[in-house]
Structure 1
Amino acid sequence: MDEHDGGERMRTIGGDHLALREQVLTELRRRIVDGDYAQGERLTENRLADDFGVSRNPVREALRVVEAEGFVQILPRRGAVVATLDETAVRDLFAVREQFETLAAGLAAERATEEDVTRLRNLLKEASAATDAKDFGRVAELNSALHSAVIEISGNRWLASLSAAMYHHVHWVFRVGAAQRAPHSWKEHIRVVDAIAAGDRDAAVEAARAHIEAAATAALPG
């Protein structure tokens, strides 16, 4: 890389712009997941630019990303609106989760170290405390963190790569019903972690499957 006289490193062209877009993207996604922008709510570029205190360019680029991720839809005559978590979308999400998370739990049971198990148990303790405190935003974060940790511990890089985008939607679905699900969810997680700690692949797979089935039942209409 070229340098100025005096040894100062030159700034990469566009670097600040990219960083700004990523900041807008992260905040836009968070506001949708946390319900600050409600399902079906219209999101104009001007409104978002005002909300974030930025120009329209990084907003436009962030909207393209969240549209591709399924958080936003572009509708005729309305423009960008927050997507709706309809029954089909939620069923499809849980169908994929069952495949990913049962595989991850089984592999994690075979590969987890003592340090890995300690990490999972610490997440469980934090989730229990957040549930008792009714801090459901934090519970949702810890829910995603636990599932991501199990996938990481599985050691399967394809699972980690393919599931990254999915977990934004997992967080979204969980956040909607967190107050009802939180007391049950972390107890189901205990079964998964106990099986991983015991190195019992079959038990880990079944505990993960039971957890996904319970979460799907809670998220979907009867």
Structure 2
Amino acid sequence: MAAPRPKIKNPPDGGQSSLHRRVVDELRQLILARRFKPGERLVEERLAEELGVSRNPVREAIRVLAAEGLVEVSANRGASVTTMSAQEARETIELRALLEGHNARLATRRQDKEVIKRIEAVLTKGSLAVANGRFEQLGDLNQKFHAELAAASQNTVLGDVLKRLRDRTAMLFSTDDPDYQERTWNEHAAILRAIIDGDERRAASLAAEHVMHAGSDYLLALDLQMPWDAAAPEHARRTEIAPPRTRTPRKSAA
């Protein structure tokens, strides 16, 4: 692992539920930030030492993250970060693209001004981070952007499903490629503009294509072909920004 993480302090009131939640959140972020790579073992004793807690909250965190699909537990190897086959990755990307499109459509319809202001604030921070090359900030900002976008749809069930799908795809997508990040935040800006303009169809198309772009980069890096006309949701195929016929695989974080 890279630089040591600050240890998690026990809650002042000794509340174990609070401590457990914080260990779950911390371990989730370590996985999503790729501090632990897909397939890497998660050793309870080592994690407990790094986080400054006992093994019990670490064991509970592993159970929670296994239920979320981020961790695999087997009798032989114990716990490890989930690995996805190419087919599983494709299916997850396709489903997320479909649902992100619907989420953007609902956000456009609801026009929640307060949430839109929060999205604008995150977008400004993300664009500045890209411009200044502060890529270490972009993982959290990307999560915040999409979390606020989910809030804007005012559909909590959809938001819960999307969060799980985002967490699973976060392990696949690049985080340190300047071209990738510039494109990502330009696409974020275009999605938000369509929402503010009240264009449901365009917002849905751009949101779905945003996921398919990142997904095709990953799959192409595995020497697979992403059949845009077949795999993309219908509203993504109608987008005004046509996908290129040939794409050069970019450096992927996966």
Give TM-score, length-normalised by structure 1.
0.84
Change beyond 3 A, Cα 1:183–1:96: same
1:179 to 176, 181, 198: 176
Greater helix content: 1
Deviation (angstroms), 1:219 = 2.0
The answer to whether the 8 A contact 2:96-2:166 is kept is no
- Structure 1 gaps, min length 5: 1-13
Look up the equivalent residue of 1:55 and give its one-letter code.
S
In structure 2, the residue matched to 1:143 is 142
Superposition RMSD on alpha carbons, in Å?
A: 2.0
The answer to whether the 8 A contact 1:192-1:207 is kept is yes
In structure 1, the residue matched to 2:231 is none
The answer to whether the 8 A contact 2:110-2:153 is kept is yes
For residues 128-163 of structure 1, give each alpha carbon's deviation from its aligned partner in whole angstroms, at most 9, with x where no partner exists: 111122222321222222222122111122212322
Change beyond 3 A, Cα 1:51–1:215: same
Deviates more, 1:87-96 or 1:20-29: 87-96
Change beyond 3 A, Cα 1:210–1:165: closer
Rg (Cα) greater in structure: 1
CA distance in 1, matches of 2:112, 2:104: 14
Change beyond 3 A, Cα 1:115–1:56: closer
Look up the equivalent residue of 1:37 and give its one-letter code.
F
Give TM-score, length-normalised by structure 2.
0.74
Change beyond 3 A, Cα 1:67–1:157: closer
Deviation (angstroms), 1:74 = 1.9
In structure 1, the residue matched to 2:80 is 81
Kindly report which structure 2 residues correspond to 1:141-220, keeping only aligned pairs within 5 A, or say none: 141-174=140-173, 177-180=174-177, 181-220=180-219
- 3-state SS of 2:73 partner: strand
CA distance in 2, matches of 1:212, 1:172: 13
The answer to whether the 8 A contact 1:41-1:82 is kept is yes
Kindly report which structure 2 residues correspond to 1:57-72, keeping only aligned pairs within 5 A, or say none: 57-72=56-71
The answer to whether the 8 A contact 2:122-2:141 is kept is yes
2:17 matches 1:21: no
Give the number of equivalent residue pairs.
207
CA distance in 2, matches of 1:102, 1:41: 33
The answer to whether the 8 A contact 1:128-1:186 is kept is yes
Look up the equivalent residue of 1:167 and give its one-letter code.
R
Deviation (angstroms), 1:15 = 6.9
In structure 1, the residue matched to 2:31 is 32
Deviation (angstroms), 1:33 = 1.4
The answer to whether the 8 A contact 2:100-2:162 is kept is no
CA distance in 2, matches of 1:207, 1:113: 19
Look up the equivalent residue of 1:205 and give its one-letter code.
A
The answer to whether the 8 A contact 1:106-1:204 is kept is yes
For residues 42-81 of structure 1, give each alpha carbon's deviation from its aligned partner in whole angstroms, at most 9, with x where no partner exists: 2222222222222221111111111122222123422112
